[in-house]
Structure 1
Amino acid sequence: MWNLVIGLVIFFGLHSLHIFASEWRARSMAKNGALRWRMRFGLLTLLAIASIIMGYEHTRQAPIWLWNPPVWTHQIASLLVLVSFYFAAAALIPGTKLKSMVGHPFLLAVKLWAFAHLISNGTLADVVLFASFLVWSIVSFAVARRRDRAAGVAKPEYIGVHMDLAAFVVSIVPWFAMVFFLHKMLIGVSPLL
């Protein structure tokens, strides 16, 4: 469990610099160079993710059950994850309606992904992992929206429905692969129980 918690603290500490220490982050990038900053950030992120994975896998060997979710929550979670994949694709593809409406659809994707996993998993490790992602994404979204309003940042322009369709196509392929193949192979649990 300690590896999981330490990995989460490092991961969210790094990914919260833009929230709590944006000026220090900008100064550090200017001083050390953007490439060096990104390399260090990426390396520390990879180490944090490795710690999270090791801690999560270790806790799965002797899980502490807080509740036993009903089987139907797995199907609901799969559908919610599809929507979260669409939100993530809408964040990456320019000119989608969702991006023009909310400005930060990737944070919405993380919220939905975390919520889907919270309702369909009942161990202490699941709650620690997915609740921390949910809380972080809620705080990040609120701060980002407030910062955008204060700075007068205009939301991205909506280009057309063809960009929304492109986001759907981009999201459906990895979702299908994850639900029907990769989740069982990588995590050891099929989301379609």
Structure 2
Amino acid sequence: MTILVAGVLLWSIVHLMKSVTPGVRASIQGAIGEGPHKGLAALLLLASVGLMIYGWRTTPAEFVYDPPVWGRHLNMTLMFIAIYLIGVAQGKSRVRQWIRHPMLTGVLIWSAGHLLANGDNRSLVLFGGLGLWALISIITVSRNEGAWVKPADVATPGREVLSVAIAALLYTVLLFAHPWIAGVPVLAG
């Protein structure tokens, strides 16, 4: 469990430095340079993902709470929405007219869905921890950016359809790859 917690904490700290401690981030960047700083951040994030995967796979699942019987099915629907939001965060989309931080909102939905489907200790740490990180990020980034200025450009209808199609493809791939990624089959029983 310690390794899983360390992975979630490392991920959160590296990401939150920009919005929570910009002075510390700037001093590190000033001391080592912008390129090395980005490289260091990327290495730390890769290490955090490795720690989370290893920590997840080596922590025995222990019952913490009883998820609702409909939680698994709702989670499968929420995952499509989360994948879509994470994908459209990188470009033009009509969604960006309604949601200020689609990627972080997608992570929050991913987290909530998994907490509805799973009631074990490692799910609580991983999904609860990353959901908390996403929520804190939404608040701190919004505070630092000030008033929300909605993007003037939106995607064409064709681009929106393409985004949905790509999200559906990624959803399908992740559905079948889930046993190899997380060690847990989605489509079992």
- Normalising by structure 2, we get a TM-score of 0.89
Q: Secondary structure at 1:79's aligned position in 2?
A: helix
How big is the shift at 1:164? 2.1
Structure-2 residue corresponding to 1:67: 65
How big is the shift at 1:15? 0.9
> Which among 92, 97, 106 is matched to residue 100 of structure 1?
97
Question: Is residue 2:110 matched to residue 1:113?
Answer: yes
- Normalising by structure 1, we get a TM-score of 0.88
Cα distance in structure 1, aligned partners of 2:146 and 2:10: 29
**Which moves more between the two structures, 160-169 or 75-84?**
160-169
Cα distance in structure 2, aligned partners of 1:99 and 1:28: 32
Structure-2 residue corresponding to 1:162: 158
> Which among 172, 180, 185 is matched to residue 185 of structure 1?
180
Which residue type is aligned with residue 173 of structure 2?
A
Question: Is residue 2:171 matched to residue 1:175?
Answer: yes
Q: Secondary structure at 2:186's aligned position in 1?
A: coil
Structure-1 residue corresponding to 2:133: 136
Structure-1 residue corresponding to 2:78: 80
- The 5 Å alignment of 1:6-85 reads 6-59=6-59, 62-85=60-83
Structure 2, gaps ≥5 residues long: none
How big is the shift at 1:68? 3.8
Which residue type is aligned with residue 35 of structure 1?
G
Distance 1:28 1:8, change over 3 A: same
Distance 1:168 1:8, change over 3 A: same
Question: Is residue 2:123 matched to residue 1:126?
Answer: yes
Cα distance in structure 1, aligned partners of 2:180 and 2:6: 26
